[in-house]
Structure 1
């Protein structure tokens, strides 16, 4: 189990926008507040269950219970549900002011709960959407998932354009999606950011490298979205979020998390699931050894206090 400390703070897009509200004052902020509430009323998509089967009691945000959030970056196009392009599980403990973030490689071979077969973990979304993805990840890591945030990566470029583009630090030169990305600091528009975040085959770290670029883009969006200059463009940002994001977090949940859990983001630790690639019937999979899976599972359960 490989761990790496992260000094940079990053939160979900939704919490970044909420932070803007908390920093704003006056009648203008009042107008923004109601626009944001209306936006996140549109993004809310509850799960069919009340709580995870992995929990005895439902979490209480007012009591600062540790929580888990599954971040799904999905590749959806018109008339096509697509697959989960990126899966990251956050275990947030406000009592220890810490966050453990596990990146789950898309090719991970595991049981797809509800489908009755073993397949790549990202296929769970194609078979059964968010619900099947959540149940499959819970079964794989033996931890509860309390909340999810799903972002459509195909349309994520709209959010990047809405904040006026993003700045990233590229560790090496590569070409992707018809664009050439030089090493060093880059200014990217929406289409460029999408191509930058999707590259995988040229990266020596494969899926882990792509997930790192996706995190870069999300961090950059939050940074731009939280700047004062973006307040004049907030409606475009909110429109993009309304179209491209779904979550079972209510607006009031987001306010509670921003208030009670935000300090935990200062101590974020990234955890990678390491395995070996293999071909089975001509199909490539990443097989995670049981010892590795169990070690990560125990770490997450301890983080969640279960």
Structure 2
């Protein structure tokens, strides 16, 4: 009796490694299938987001961008936060120019006040955020290039409602607030605060109660965007990736394709660890009854020179 019992126990002992091994193999297969699904979904999402500029179709332009990215040269990216409106193309509520230098692992961020008085190609002097209403992404990019005398290689346009959903999908962001204020029914205390998507959107939109006006608003925008980049870079929950991809696909357009996105994630991602912010110093003026943010030529030249020197290092 004892001998038969011992044999059964020995059989069980021999079998359990196979059961464990089988479960591990199934888990590996399941993870592999899920990762393949995610990669496939990423490709589909990027394809949905991809919207080249009209000039990007030129073979010489394509080759130029390929060479720049392949050789890890500095690139400039225009981030546009757009308020989409029903039966209206909307206006660019947020314009941030980012210059990424992978050789120095440094990024420059320039918030462009939306009322900045500039020459919009083909339209004349007007507020810079009107460029989007007049000619969409193409004219916005041309206007920024014309204003700062630097190339814009890529753009990313974000629907501001999608921005709110994206912050929620990341689990919120943490920023340091240096001025207590209320906006849209929310109160923001000084110090370290955690923001969900709705709160983040209200936080970056406040400007009338800020003594610095657009400059203070722009600083909050940069802080939230940097916090979102940091959160995304450390994001480990693959269970939420599918949700994030759906949000991006519905609310983001860019002329970055899959290959260039992968290159930016590998060769340019460390630039986020060393960010220099530049503010455009101007003054509010009323011209023909309309308020504009007027920037002296000397100040524009200062910003241009700083970006060019950053790109050449």
Query: What's 1:283 paired with?
Result: 290
2:293 is aligned with 1:299:
no
Superposition pairs for residues 131-210 of structure 1, below 5 Å? 131-210=138-217
Higher helix fraction (1 or 2): 2
Which residue does the alignment assign to 1:74?
Answer: 82
Alpha-carbon spacing, 1:272–1:255, altered in 2? closer, same or farther (3 Å): same
Partner of 1:98: 106
> Partner residue of 1:32?
38
Paired residue secondary structure (1:105): coil
- Cα distance 1:92–1:226, how it changes in 2: closer, same or farther (>3 A)? closer
Matched, 1:122 2:122: no
- Aligned: 1:44 with 2:45: no
Give 1:87's aligned residue: 95
**1:124·1:132 contact (CA, 8 Å) conserved in 2?**
yes
Specify the alignment match of 2:121 in structure 1.
Answer: 113
**TM-score, structure 2 as length reference:** 0.82
Which structure 1 segments of 5+ residues have no match? Answer: 1-24
Asked whether the 8 Å contact 1:51–1:58 carries over to 2, the reply is no
Write the deviation string for residues 236-264 of structure 1: whole angstroms up to 9, x where unpaired.
11111111111000011011112222233
SS of structure 2 residue aligned to 1:155: helix
| Ranges of 4+ aligned residues in structure 1 off by more than 4 Å | 226-229
> Residues 41-89 of structure 1: CA distance to partner in whole angstroms, max 9, x if unpaired?
111110000389xx9x723211112211111111112222111111111
Contact 2:170/2:235 (<8 A) preserved: no
3-state SS in 2 of match to 1:145: coil
Offset, 1:132:
0.6
> Shift of the alpha carbon at 1:26?
4.8
Q: 1:238 to 1:28 in 2, by over 3 A?
A: same
In the alignment of these two chains, the number of paired residues is: 278
Partners of 2:241 and 2:169 in 1: CA distance: 8
Contact kept in structure 2, 1:114 and 1:132, CA below 8 Å: no
State which drifts further: 214-223 or 231-240.
214-223
Q: Is the contact made by 2:111 and 2:222 (CA closer than 8 Å) also made in structure 1? A: no
TM-fit CA distance, 1:138: 0.7
Does the 8 Å CA contact 1:77/1:154 hold for their aligned counterparts? no
Distance in structure 2 (CA, Å) of the matches to 1:226 and 1:302 = 27
The equivalent residue for 2:24 is none
Bigger relative CO (Cα 8 Å, ≥ 6 apart): 1
Provide Cα deviations, 1:105-147, integer angstroms capped at 9, x if missing partner: 11110111122x2111111111111111111111111111110
**Distance change (3 Å), C-alpha of 1:268 and 1:192:** closer
User: 1: CA distance between counterparts of 2:37 and 2:166?
Assistant: 21
Q: CA, structure 1 residues 300+38, in 2 after alignment: closer, same or farther (shift >3 Å)?
A: same
